[in-house]
Structure 1
Amino acid sequence: MILTEELNKETESYFRKKGWLKAENELLEYAKAGEGNMNFVARVKTNGFSFIVKQSRAYVEKYKQVPAPIERIEVENAFYKAATESEFISSFSPEILDFDKENHVMVMEDLGEGTDFLGLYAGEVDVTKAEIVLLIKYMTVLHALKPSDFPDNAKMKALNHEHIFNYPYLEENGFDLNSVQEGLQELAKPLKQNEVLKAKIKEIGNRYLANGKTLLHGDFYPGSWLKVEESLKVIDPEFAFMGDSEFDLGVMLAHFKLAGLADDLIDFAKSQYRKERAIDEKLLNQFIGVEILRRLIGLAQLPLALNLNQKQALVSEATELILS
């Protein structure tokens, strides 16, 4: 069963066969819910309630030419199950109403018409100190969970590894960075030719691929944070894995730097985490650096409001963080 963007009889019949729609339920609306990168997500509204359906495919939803492990939805389901061990983490998560493993479909609580934090990059959205405190607490509580037999998510880690640690540094990867911003291809060239930097990034990538002991969200960036009315939610944990806690924190801080947040806010976030858990500062800096670089010269581009000089300054900072 492949869910389509437009409602058809086959899709409605599937929903009714699974029991998600009863005979008395009139289907009023079926539409894509946001622009998801990895998966197809739709909101289903009836005369009595609404819910979210999410399906993983054998490719990345936003980049259909990129193959992706279709079973990643099983990892997301496992993550939400692990989250039930903590009332605090559960309060940030949608309730899972049903899971169809055969068709790679998850049915979730509709959290409502929320907005993510992608507007941070253009200065259209702010993140407050209070929100940073909550996001850091989410991370520290999550990192303290000890789920048994959590999936290794090896295929998704391999996909992410390729796009973080390898693809951006290939001199001929088929991605013309000048199509993103004129001059970006030339800015990236020294990085692609820096053998010392690439060797260090390969070493960090091997650390990422190794099995760890800490449950990570795996993609803890502004697109995974949702503001619904006055509450915060954290979604899209299909990259979750057991690894180094510095990876989640490093991704968060890298995106704060990409969004141009003040250094004192970044230091505040780090200090909040350090209150609860120890940090390997060198490893943290390395993860910050590689995330900055892959977002500047890799395929997964962001809606950044940065000129080339600002990107060059970030490239220099990231390189120093990786090599220091």
Structure 2
Amino acid sequence: MIKITKNIKELEEYLHGQKWLGINEHITAVEVPGEGNMNFTLRVRTDQGSFILKQSRDYVEKYPQVSAPVDRAMRESEFYNLVADHNLLKRQMPALLGVDVNNYVLKLQDLGEGVDYSFLYEEASSLDEVELQEIIGFVAELHTSVHLGKTGRSLPNRKMRKLNHEHIFIYPFLKNNGLNLDDILPGLNEIGNSFKEDVPLLKKVEQLGERYLKDGSVLLHGDYFPGSWLKTIAGVRIIDPEFCFFGEPEFEIGVTLAHLKLAGQPQIIFNKALESYMDRAPLQKELCFQFMATEILRRILGLAQLPLSIGLTERIELLQEAKDLLV
């Protein structure tokens, strides 16, 4: 496996070998387009334009100690192929320009100098209602347009689901998982331990985890949260569908709603997100809220921490709200 790097000479050789550069096209600059979590990602500028390279490796880029399926970029390419015939979905995603199956590299359209919506976690940052409609409109269109009844194709993505399952439904609730929550926020470790000892809560989380692992009929993005929404001059764009699979929409929308709460969004935004989705697509609200609760728990108690501006009191309130939804 060739590991791509920022070395321009080596990168040009690789790209010419893939026929991803024109004969007389040369790289002028290479940069990292934002802070990615999962993959090694580069923006490549040439004398004829720019594009994005994304390579998946056998570990998580942000957490090299965490192993991950090396071929996950190929699952992402399958997602792009599944939505290729749906103009409304294609319009809000980068175009897939090339796939290197031997080295797990994707060549993607450069969407420009956008930023993801992680800024929502900052204090006093509110989601614009027009942008909210774009975000919810995309996922509702995805769930109603691409399903097994229409595609006849499956996308189990079991290795990525197993990884996600571990970090959502197992790791945050292990007593000795090696994560000291007091390093994140003093006082959080003691609170976390009380949740790890709550047997009815753990049983419910386990049941939801088993449900997550079952196949469903609707194509999910799989990680639909602010880090996968890109704010560009052309509007909201959706990126990074590597956790995609055919599952239940309640998981997807539960994750989205959880992040609106974690980001301290006004209740009116939360309500509009839910109503907007339910106006377009069917949803079991109780199940959705249970998945939402689990996502809140894992984001406060687990490894995949967020740049939250809320303090200990607000986190405890969210944890208790999540628990009340589950038991």
- The TM-score normalised by the length of structure 2 is 0.96
Query: Contact conserved, 1:114 with 1:226, CA < 8 A, in 2?
Result: yes
Aligned to 2:178: 174
3-state secondary structure, aligned to 1:274: helix
Letter of the 1:295 partner, please give it. R
Deviation sequence 1:196-219 (CA, Å, 0-9, x none): 100000000000000000100000
5 Å-filtered alignment, 1:83-102, equals: 83-102=83-102
Give the stretch that moved more between structures: 97-106 or 270-279: 270-279
State how 1:1-324 maps to structure 2 within 5 Å: 1-123=1-123, 125-144=125-144, 145-146=146-147, 147-323=151-327
Distance 1:90 1:57 in 2: 26
Q: Give me the whole-angstrom Cα distance separating, in 2, the residues matched to 1:85 and 1:8.
A: 35
Structure 1: distance between partners of 2:52 and 2:234: 20
- Would the aligned equivalents of 1:5 and 1:32 in 2 still touch at CA under 8 Å? no
C-alpha distance in 2 between matches for 1:277 and 1:21: 42
Q: How big is the shift at 1:4?
A: 4.3
SS of structure 2 residue aligned to 1:226: strand
Aligned-partner SS, 1:52 = strand
Equivalent position amino acid for 1:300 in 2: A
Q: CA deviation at 1:228?
A: 1.0
Q: What secondary structure is seen at the aligned counterpart in 2 of 1:191?
A: helix
Helix, strand or coil at the partner of 1:165: helix
Pick which of 125-134 and 253-262 moved more: 125-134
Deviant stretches of 4+, over 6 Å: none
How far is 1:136 from its partner?
A: 1.1
Q: Give the Cα–Cα distance (whole angstroms) in 2 for the partners of residues 121 and 283 of structure 1.
A: 25
Give the CA deviation at 1:179: 1.2
Q: Which is further off, 241-250 or 126-135?
A: 126-135
Choose 122-131 or 269-278, whichever is displaced more.
Answer: 122-131
Deviations 1:264-295 (A, max 9, x none): 21111111111112211110110010000000
Give the Å deviation of 1:71: 1.2
Deviations 1:56-75, CA, capped at 9 Å, x for gaps: 00011110111101111111
Distance 1:63 1:2 in 2: 21
State which drifts further: 5-14 or 21-30: 5-14
CA contact (8 A) 1:53 1:107 kept: yes
Distance 1:228 1:268 in 2: 22
Q: CA deviation at 1:124?
A: 6.2
How much does 1:85 deviate?
Answer: 2.2
CA distance in 2, matches of 1:124, 1:115: 18
After superposition, give the CA deviation of every residue in 1:108-167 in whole Å (9 maximum; x if it has no partner).
111101011101011364311111111111111100113332320001000000000000
In structure 1, how many angstroms separate the alpha carbons of the residues matched to 2:156 and 2:4? 30
In structure 2, distance between residues paired with 1:33 and 1:134: 23
Size of the aligned set, in residue pairs, is: 323
**AA at the equivalent of 1:149:** R
Aligned 8 A contact 1:59 1:69 in 2: yes
Distance 2:125 2:78 in 1: 31
Query: What TM-score, normalized to structure 1?
Result: 0.97
Q: Structure 1: state its 5+ residue gaps.
A: none
In structure 1, what is the Cα distance between the partners aligned to 2:124 and 2:5?
A: 29
Task: Indicate conservation of the 8 Å contact 1:161/1:205, yes or no.
Answer: yes
Superposed displacement of residue 23, structure 1:
3.0
User: The residue matched to 2:310 in structure 1 has which SS?
Assistant: coil
Counterparts of 1:95 and 1:211, CA distance in 2: 27
Question: More deviation in 274-283 or 103-112?
Answer: 274-283
Instruction: State the distance in 2 between where 1:7 and 1:34 align.
Output: 18
CA contact (8 A) 1:78 1:150 kept: no
Distance 2:47 2:8 in 1: 18
Runs of 5+ unmatched residues, structure 2: none
C-alpha separation in 2, matches of 1:210 and 1:189: 29
Does the 8 Å CA contact 2:228/2:239 hold for their aligned counterparts?
Answer: yes
